[in-house]
C-alpha cells in the first residue's frame, strides 16, 4: 500500500507541474493570478519547482520566475533574491529583478540598485524597466541617482522616464 500512495502522490505532483507548464507555455508574457487560481495554494511552490528544473525549457523557467511576482510572500521573496544573485542563467537573474520589483515594490530597491550597478548592460536595462514599472517616489530617486553614472544611452532613456508624468 505505501508504494501505491507514493505513486499516486508522484502522479499528482507531475499533473500539477504539467498544469503549471501548460499555463506558462500559453503566454509570451506572464499570466495573471487567475490563471493559477485553480492550482490552489501550492501554485507558488510549483512555480519555484519549475523555475529550478533544468529539464524545463529556459523560456518557461523565465516565465515561472516572472509569475512569482503574483505571490508576494516571504518565501517567494527569498527565492527571487536567491535567483537574482545566483541563478546560472542571466535571463533568470534579470527576470528575478523584475519579479522582485513588481511583487515587492520598494522592498526590492536594494536588489534593483545592485542590478543597476551590474557590469551586464542587459541586467541594468532590466532593472531600469523594473523601476519604471514601480513608479514610486523611491524608484524615481534611485533612477535619478543612477542616471548620472549610467554609460548606456538606452538605459539612461528608460531611467529618465521613471517618475515622469
For the segment 14-28, what is each residue's pLDDT rounded down to a tens digit? Answer: 444 776 666 666 556
Domain ranges, ordered by start, for the chain: 1-71, 72-165
For residue 165, the model assigns a pLDDT of 82
Report the percentage of the chain scoring pLDDT > 70: 83
- State the Cα–Cα distance between residues 64 and 58, nearest whole angstrom: 10
Residue 163 has pLDDT above 50, yes or no: yes
pLDDT exceeds 70 at position 134: yes
Say what the pLDDT of residue 8 is. 32
| pLDDT tens, residue by residue, 67-89 | 999 999 999 999 999 999 999 99
**Residue that is written with C-alpha cell 543597476 in the block:** 116
The pLDDT of residue 9 is: 33
> Are the beta carbons of 141 and 164 closer than 8 angstroms?
no
Smallest Cα–Cα separation from 114: which of 146, 161, 78? 146
Residue 138, pLDDT > 90, answer yes
Give the global pTM.
0.82
| Predicted pLDDT of residue 44 | 94
Question: Can you list the positions of beta strands (E) in the chain?
Answer: none
pLDDT > 70? residue 7: no
Amino acid at each position: 500500500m505505501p508504494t501505491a500512495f507514493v505513486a499516486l502522490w508522484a502522479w499528482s505532483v507531475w499533473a500539477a507541474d504539467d498544469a503549471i507548464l501548460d499555463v506558462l507555455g500559453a503566454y509570451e508574457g506572464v499570466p495573471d493570478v487567475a490563471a493559477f487560481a485553480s492550482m490552489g495554494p501550492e501554485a507558488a511552490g510549483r512555480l519555484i519547482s519549475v523555475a529550478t528544473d533544468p529539464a524545463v525549457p529556459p523560456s518557461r523557467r523565465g516565465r515561472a520566475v516572472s509569475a512569482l511576482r503574483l505571490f508576494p510572500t516571504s518565501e517567494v521573496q527569498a527565492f527571487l533574491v536567491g535567483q537574482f544573485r545566483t541563478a546560472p542563467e542571466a535571463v533568470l537573474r534579470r527576470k528575478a529583478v523584475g519579479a522582485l520589483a513588481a511583487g515587492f515594490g520598494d522592498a526590492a530597491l536594494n536588489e534593483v540598485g545592485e542590478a543597476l550597478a551590474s557590469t551586464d548592460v542587459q541586467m541594468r536595462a532590466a532593472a531600469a524597466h523594473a523601476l519604471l514599472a514601480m513608479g514610486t517616489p523611491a524608484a524615481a530617486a534611485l533612477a535619478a541617482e543612477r542616471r548620472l553614472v549610467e554609460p548606456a544611452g538606452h538605459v539612461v532613456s528608460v531611467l529618465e522616464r521613471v517618475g515622469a508624468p
